[in-house]
Amino acid sequence: MNVQSWKKILLIILSFISIFGLFILFIIPDHFSKVSISHSSSLPSSSSLSLIDEADQQRRVSRKITSSLGKIEAGLAKSRALIIKKSGANRTVDDHDEDYVPSGSVYWNPDLFHRSYLVMEKELKIYVYEEGNLPVFHDAPCDGILGMEGIFINDMEISRFRTRDPDEAHLFFLPFSIVSIVHYVFERETRLWSDMKNTVIDYVNVIAEKYPYWNRSRGADHFMLACHDWGPEISSAIPTLYKNSIRALCNANTSEGFNLTRDVSIPEIYLPHGTTKGLLGGPSPSKRTTLVFFSGGVHGYIREVLLDHWENKTEDGVKIQKYLSKGEDYYDEVRKSKYCICASGWEVASPRMVEALYMGCVPVLIKDHYAKPFNDILDWRKFSIDIGLENIPNLKTILMRISQRKYIRLQRNGVQVRKHFVVNLPPKRYDVFHMILHSIWLRRLNTRIHDPHQP
């Protein structure tokens, strides 16, 4: 075959890849690949929209909203091509990054991640709706275990990704906080959810009435963020939000409607004093004397099994108990341990996972139906252990069987990925705020929006 036909084949392959979205390119773990393929195969209707013919293109530019959407979609197509094209090739000058260059086995594909991160920094624009009054909208507490809601809302308000011009936005943020809605709107006497749900319904009605953007995409380029357990249920009050929008959730339970291709799992992070001061770092592996540590209440069925088997059994460095005794400090125990159990409680997410990573303890996840944060970028197998419910009785044997070499690798990798979970005020590159945005950016890159009111 001559060079010309090779080029043609390459071109066809490239456009094929760009049509079927980026997900395939992020080498995706087992359960993920299934989802991404079904996502791709469900694309025909929308992917055909990206192949708008010339005449159609002409018609589109004549309408203002459409033309702004056309520009946005063309820009996103360029971003996709840029990310994909450069990924296999040698690093170029604009890959230069004085802060950090992702590398190593903790990433499924470090080059591709780096590229899409840099393109995000260059291109991404988010419009934050200004409607909605304090304190229910635009604010939430930044401390406590649900602090990510407040932290994200506040970061977003001052973010460099924010645009005041909705016509140039790739994404639209709905700035409500479930924590604030529960705090200010929930009727504690009647325990009815209707007021909370109506708050969100009214909000979406207002912005759908006032602006063309919600109707244009049926919510698909809009996103919300919730750490509160009730986030998923409250979001279900609006079918289009639930089905089309990107929901960034701590409570990422795949058995409760969390959609791996569209929704974003965010870490639950507990900052007792609103900052990470005193939480980051811990002794080296050789100084860790406890094999495995857990302390917590019997919340939910997983912990019941765990404590049934292991409570107070202190042999061989196992320290699993409900509550610590007087004088013992939770964080000190984490720092002394090689492995830290992060078991789901009432809900799938728990702040223990990030606590362990912050303090250099290898997380042992005992969770069902949990979508791990940043799973399409990070290979969690390289810095954590998954233990199925049925394997709880074998917990000690499983951990003892891990060689010292492998443990040290897991621990080091955990220290390496820590930066992606750190909360900075204000945010810094590659930290948790940027990782959340990057996950949302990937979802947006995988969506093509066509204005239903245009021919």
Ligand X SMILES: *[C@@H]1O[C@H](CO)[C@@H](O)[C@H](O)[C@H]1NC(C)=O
Binding site for ligand X (CB under 6 A): 39, 42, 89-90, 208-209, 212, 215, 253, 255-256, 259, 261-262, 300, 311-312, 321, 344, 347-348, 368-369
Q: Residue 337 — φ and ψ, nearest 5°? A: -105, 150
Q: Residue 365 — φ and ψ, nearest 5°? A: -90, 125
Q: What sign does the CA torsion over 4, 8, 13, 18 have?
A: positive
For the bound state, the minimum distance from the C-beta of residue 429 to ligand X, rounded and expressed in Å, comes to: 26
Q: What tokens does 44 get?
A: 């025909």
Q: Which is nearer to ligand X, 299 or 429 (CB)?
A: 299
For the bound state, the minimum distance from the C-beta of residue 178 to ligand X, rounded and expressed in Å, comes to: 16
Q: Which is nearer to ligand X, 423 or 449 (CB)?
A: 449
Q: Which is nearer to ligand X, 249 or 417 (CB)?
A: 249
Q: Which is nearer to ligand X, 241 or 359 (CB)?
A: 241
Q: What tokens does 242 get?
A: 């639930």
Q: What is the amino acid identity at position 112?
A: L
Q: Which is nearer to ligand X, 42 or 404 (CB)?
A: 42
From first CA to last CA, the distance across the chain in angstroms is: 42
For the bound state, the minimum distance from the C-beta of residue 89 to ligand X, rounded and expressed in Å, comes to: 5
Q: What is the amino acid identity at position 454?
A: Q
Q: Which is nearer to ligand X, 287 or 453 (CB)?
A: 453
For the bound state, the minimum distance from the C-beta of residue 270 to ligand X, rounded and expressed in Å, comes to: 17
SS3 of residue 410 by DSSP: helix
For the bound state, the minimum distance from the C-beta of residue 405 to ligand X, rounded and expressed in Å, comes to: 32
The secondary structure element, H or E, covering residue 88 is helix 64-88
Total residue length of the chain: 455
What gap in Å lies between CA 246 and CA 305, rounded to an integer? 34
Per the listing, tokens 């996709």 go with: 80
Q: Which is nearer to ligand X, 5 or 92 (CB)?
A: 92
What gap in Å lies between CA 71 and CA 68, rounded to an integer? 5
For the bound state, the minimum distance from the C-beta of residue 149 to ligand X, rounded and expressed in Å, comes to: 19
Q: Which is nearer to ligand X, 139 or 233 (CB)?
A: 233
What gap in Å lies between CA 316 and CA 18, rounded to an integer? 53
For the bound state, the minimum distance from the C-beta of residue 101 to ligand X, rounded and expressed in Å, comes to: 16
Q: What tokens does 226 get?
A: 């919730």
For residues 83 and 115, is the Cβ–Cβ distance under 8 A? yes
Q: Which is nearer to ligand X, 261 or 424 (CB)?
A: 261
Q: Which is nearer to ligand X, 276 or 344 (CB)?
A: 344
For the bound state, the minimum distance from the C-beta of residue 231 to ligand X, rounded and expressed in Å, comes to: 13
Asked if the bond preceding 232 is cis, omega within 30° of 0, the reply is no
What gap in Å lies between CA 86 and CA 81, rounded to an integer? 8
For the bound state, the minimum distance from the C-beta of residue 324 to ligand X, rounded and expressed in Å, comes to: 10
- Provide DSSP, 368-405: SSB--TTTTTB-GGGT-EE--GGGGGGHHHHHHHS-HH
For the bound state, the minimum distance from the C-beta of residue 218 to ligand X, rounded and expressed in Å, comes to: 9
Smallest CA-to-CA distance from 444 within 245, 265, 253, 157 is with 245
